[in-house]
Structure 1
Amino acid sequence: MSNYAIILAAGKGTRMKSDLPKVMHKVAGLTMLEHVYRAVQAITPAKTVTVIGHKAELVREVLGDKSEFVMQTEQLGTGHAVMMAEDELAGLDGQTLVIAGDTPLITGDSLTKLVDFHVNHKNVATILTAEADEPFGYGRIIRNENDEVTKIVEQKDANDFEKQVKEINTGTYLFDNKRLFEALKNINTNNAQGEYYLTDVIGIFKEAGEKVGAYKLRDFDESLGVNDRVALATAEKVMRARLTKQHMVNGVTFVNPDATYLDADVEIGEEAVIEANVTLKGQTKVGARTVLTNGTYLVDALIGEDAVITNSMIEESTVEAGVTVGPYAHIRPGSTLAKDVHIGNFVEVKGSSIGENTKAGHLTYIGNAEVGSNVNFGAGTITVNYDGQNKYKTTIGNNVFVGSNSTLIAPLEIGDNALTAAGSTITEDVPMDSIAIGRGRQVNKEGYAIKKPHHPSQQ
């Protein structure tokens, strides 16, 4: 029998104090909606319907053609939101998962177990529940003496006895699809909120003598619904701990996992070592046995095996095996560092390809350049690639020695085995096997210094 899914993502989330729709706020580099969608895919839904409303186009862009979309122009409660999916799902055989788009910690494994429980117990509805130490604010699961679910009571509608119940409704449900939409026609707004509660269909099923069950989560954290920035920070912390744990199980060493920040899609090879205060974002991939020291910040970076990145920033660039970078280096977007390159302290590389075994030890800027293998950059070298309007390319061959404090004014080509003298400004192409000297002639004025005021001889 087919599974279907409805993701509720129409709310504004006023407590977030943000112009963004609530489900668009990110946890570990992905929007909450993306986390929920990924978890939902574990039950292989034949159709996923996302209910959108506030700033609908922003929400729609996140999932694109992965989901069907329906509009909830007025936010009149969860029951009303699910009603919006009637045209997409009503009449289909199977079971439908209803889940809020602001529950980023839910796992696909838990949703799969929910479906299995629902099917095995032949329920018309199954509620995903959790045990809360402090249940205030949650809907309570009320059971009878036979441990059967009789109803769900919202906080504002609960009596004193019901408020003591610690089993709470997570807001995730599985329904017989046809019965769900039949029951929704019979709910009303006679409650403290004046809204259509989705939970009211549970009472309708019970009155009809149909079987309602509840599957309790093992980990309460999965039930977290994010309604404000405090909960968002909590979700980030839990997700980060979950991610670092999985990487450690896979053979990665974190010197201080609590002080490491990584996004959900980051990949790290076995025996890599990640020190404290390292940030790994986006689609970053780190090779086996690579070391990332304190303060390293990588965004969409591809780092090869056996590299060492020391307190440096790398963005949208590729670093191949055996490369060393830093400390205090910046590899900007569009750069490629080939095997065994060394980029040292206070070196910036932007939009450039650097050949194998090339070294730029310190205080150098390499921009819009194509650099060969076994090149040595002396300290203070600058590729002058920008004239205020256009960017120009510098091409450097193999085995070139660039003297300290060289200024290479693009467009420029330096041939294989060439050398530039220290302190030179190079404005013309340098043929292979040549030495280029482009500096002013030194003139010594003997005895002139003693005539200057404040010379030591006059003190």
Structure 2
Amino acid sequence: MDNAVILAGGAGKRMNSEKPKVLLEVLGKPMLSWVTDACEDAGIERICVVKGHAADQIDKYLDGKFETVYQPERLGTGHAVMCAREFLEANIEGNTFIACGDAPFTDFKTIHAALEFHKLSDCAVTVITAEVSNPYGYGRIVHTQSGIAIVEEKDCTEEQRRISEISSGCYWFRTKDLLSVLPKLDRNNAQNEYYLTDTVRILSAEGKKTAAFKTDNPDAVLGANDRRGLLRLNDIARIRVIEKHLSNGIEFITTDGIVISPDVTIKGGTRILPGTILSGKTEIGAGCVIGPNTRLENTVVGDGSIMDNVVANGAYVGNHVKVGPFVQLRPAARICDFASVGDFVEIKNSVIGEGTAVAHLTYVGDSDIGKNVNFGCGTVTVNYDGTNKAKCVVKDNAFIGCNTNLIAPVTIGEAAYTAAGSTVTKDIPDGALAIERSDLHIINGYAVKKLTRHLEKGKKLIGK
């Protein structure tokens, strides 16, 4: 069984954030999650996260999914791996992948291919490298007869500075060799830190095989040290994700204002309009139109549906549904097939049945709405008494008149009607009409008298 150790102890001071650096987001997903997902996708079963700065936030985010160890002092990458010694000793028969938690473009294909190379080459350590056009600031990979060496920028000769193959900061180690070399690291350097890069030199000097695996993904080396760098990562990731969807038959008329998280799935033939933000585990079916100005988070949309100027979080929208414009779907809103939800409507924790129309200016909360129901303009389910929530049930084929207040808990029977302006406080039987209105009183001449008083008052003011 293979291991992974993810280095996530850095503070990222230049980010000016209360969050640890690895929890800052690229396309709405923490950088740490990009890396751990890549490790899992590559088939690595045992993952340990080395935490340091704001360790409690990392614990809260991971919620026990992976093992963690604490690095009490930030004494370098080598020291971070030393902190995971017990984790490594629990499974020494295999290999260990080391990666930085703030390198979101470390991809599973590279991780897996590098491991296969590492095993076939019988290496003690394999460094994942990349060829880049501007290697400034990165450690250069120098190939020698005995293996490889990593030379840091400040230590490079002029000839070495021209080398364009750089270290990604990711390694595959034979776990036994990693455990044997860690005690041999020292802090005799300008930074007074334990460098993980020194393991390559030490293992090579011991006659053990060291090699480089060059990825065809040059973005794998990218990280961010400040907000500008983080913005750059977001820009690169945004276009990469859009290009992936273009290849899968998704239509974009422009990329302006479109942000799609990497875990979002979209089926072919769907059209994404400007100003659309899709995040979390959102799933979009085939032949949909999403946008403009739509934000969907952890929301499922079926085939052939339209989402126009919609904000949805934790919602489900069925097939051939029209939602919008200007609609909010809050968690546990479920809109069934062929329903329509129109402008200025909010739905929360409710089922809207098949073929039901909630056309405009309506709030539906904590309700179970049947099939082919019609909601008139201005309907409100009054579900909260200041302490507790209560449920409304509207059965199939009911008709809710304009400006109806449904005071929960209440049930509207099948094919029942409510008259416009009614406040319904009792259950309505199937097929019945509920009408609740006070008498209309007409006071003749009232408006004329009121206008006369205003005119007289105005004349007095002018006279002053």
- TM-score under structure 2 normalisation? 0.90
Query: Counterparts in 2 of 1:400-411, with a 5 A limit?
Result: 400-411=398-409
The residue matched to 1:356 in structure 2 has which SS?
coil
User: 1:377-399, CA deviations, whole angstroms, 9 ceiling, x for partnerless residues?
Assistant: 11122222222222222222222
Residue 259 of structure 1: aligned partner: 257
Return the alpha-carbon distance in structure 2 between the equivalents of residues 244 and 355 of structure 1. Answer: 34
Query: Counterparts in 2 of 1:297-446, with a 5 A limit?
Result: 297-446=295-444
Q: Is the 8 A contact 2:223 2:229 kept in 1?
A: yes
Query: Counterparts in 2 of 1:227-246, with a 5 A limit?
Result: 227-246=225-244
AA aligned to 1:86 is: R
Residue 98 of structure 1: aligned partner: 98
Query: Counterparts in 2 of 1:27-426, with a 5 A limit?
Result: 27-45=26-44, 47-63=46-62, 66-90=65-89, 92-144=92-144, 150-257=148-255, 259-426=257-424
Using the aligned pairs only, state the percent identity: 39
User: 1:93-148, CA deviations, whole angstroms, 9 ceiling, x for partnerless residues?
Assistant: 4332211111110111111221233233333322212223332322222335x6x7
Return the alpha-carbon distance in structure 1 between the equivalents of residues 41 and 400 of structure 2. Answer: 56
Return the alpha-carbon distance in structure 1 between the equivalents of residues 202 and 333 of structure 2. Answer: 62
CA 1:449–1:342 in 2, change beyond 3 Å: closer, same or farther?
same
Return the alpha-carbon distance in structure 2 between the equivalents of residues 56 and 448 of structure 1. Answer: 72
Return the alpha-carbon distance in structure 1 between the equivalents of residues 265 and 251 of structure 2. Answer: 13
Q: Is the 8 A contact 1:449 1:455 kept in 2?
A: no
Return the alpha-carbon distance in structure 2 between the equivalents of residues 296 and 46 of structure 1. Answer: 37
The more displaced of 148-157 and 380-389 is 148-157
AA aligned to 1:152 is: I
Q: Is the 8 A contact 2:148 2:212 kept in 1?
A: no
What's the offset of the Cα at 1:432? 2.4
The residue matched to 1:87 in structure 2 has which SS?
helix
Residue 25 of structure 1: aligned partner: 24
Q: Is the 8 A contact 1:34 1:62 kept in 2?
A: no
The residue matched to 1:391 in structure 2 has which SS?
coil
The residue matched to 1:422 in structure 2 has which SS?
coil
What's the offset of the Cα at 1:456? 12
Q: Is the 8 A contact 1:319 1:338 kept in 2?
A: yes
Return the alpha-carbon distance in structure 2 between the equivalents of residues 399 and 113 of structure 1. Answer: 59
The more displaced of 57-66 and 127-136 is 57-66
Return the alpha-carbon distance in structure 2 between the equivalents of residues 93 and 419 of structure 1. Answer: 72
Q: Is the 8 A contact 2:148 2:211 kept in 1?
A: no
RMSD: 2.6
Return the alpha-carbon distance in structure 1 between the equivalents of residues 403 and 99 of structure 2. Answer: 62
Return the alpha-carbon distance in structure 1 between the equivalents of residues 275 and 254 of structure 2. Answer: 8
Return the alpha-carbon distance in structure 1 between the equivalents of residues 174 and 123 of structure 2. Answer: 8
CA 1:450–1:33 in 2, change beyond 3 Å: closer, same or farther?
closer
AA aligned to 1:337 is: I
Return the alpha-carbon distance in structure 2 between the equivalents of residues 231 and 108 of structure 1. Answer: 23
The residue matched to 1:452 in structure 2 has which SS?
helix
The residue matched to 2:18 in structure 1 has which SS?
coil
AA aligned to 1:48 is: I
AA aligned to 2:267 is: G
CA 1:18–1:162 in 2, change beyond 3 Å: closer, same or farther?
same
Return the alpha-carbon distance in structure 1 between the equivalents of residues 320 and 63 of structure 2. Answer: 39
Return the alpha-carbon distance in structure 1 between the equivalents of residues 148 and 121 of structure 2. Answer: 16
AA aligned to 2:130 is: A
User: 1:344-385, CA deviations, whole angstroms, 9 ceiling, x for partnerless residues?
Assistant: 111111222222211121111222222222221111222222
What's the offset of the Cα at 1:65? 5.2
CA 1:422–1:137 in 2, change beyond 3 Å: closer, same or farther?
same
CA 1:378–1:138 in 2, change beyond 3 Å: closer, same or farther?
same
CA 1:434–1:45 in 2, change beyond 3 Å: closer, same or farther?
closer
Structure 1's unaligned 5+ residue stretches are none
Residue 462 of structure 2: aligned partner: none
What's the offset of the Cα at 1:42? 4.5
CA 1:306–1:205 in 2, change beyond 3 Å: closer, same or farther?
same
AA aligned to 2:309 is: N
CA 1:102–1:440 in 2, change beyond 3 Å: closer, same or farther?
same
AA aligned to 2:77 is: T
AA aligned to 2:18 is: D
What's the offset of the Cα at 1:219? 2.5
Q: Is the 8 A contact 1:342 1:360 kept in 2?
A: yes
AA aligned to 2:70 is: M
User: 1:317-341, CA deviations, whole angstroms, 9 ceiling, x for partnerless residues?
Assistant: 2211121111011122222122211
- TM-score under structure 1 normalisation? 0.91
Return the alpha-carbon distance in structure 2 between the equivalents of residues 301 and 431 of structure 1. Answer: 35
What's the offset of the Cα at 1:76? 0.8
* Consecutive aligned runs of 4 or more in structure 1 exceeding 4 Å deviation: 61-66, 454-459
What's the offset of the Cα at 1:46? 5.6
User: 1:192-248, CA deviations, whole angstroms, 9 ceiling, x for partnerless residues?
Assistant: 211111111222233334332222222321211232222222222222333333333
CA 1:258–1:96 in 2, change beyond 3 Å: closer, same or farther?
farther
CA 1:365–1:3 in 2, change beyond 3 Å: closer, same or farther?
closer
Q: Is the 8 A contact 1:271 1:289 kept in 2?
A: yes
The residue matched to 1:136 in structure 2 has which SS?
coil
Q: Is the 8 A contact 1:42 1:111 kept in 2?
A: no
Return the alpha-carbon distance in structure 1 between the equivalents of residues 287 and 13 of structure 2. Answer: 46
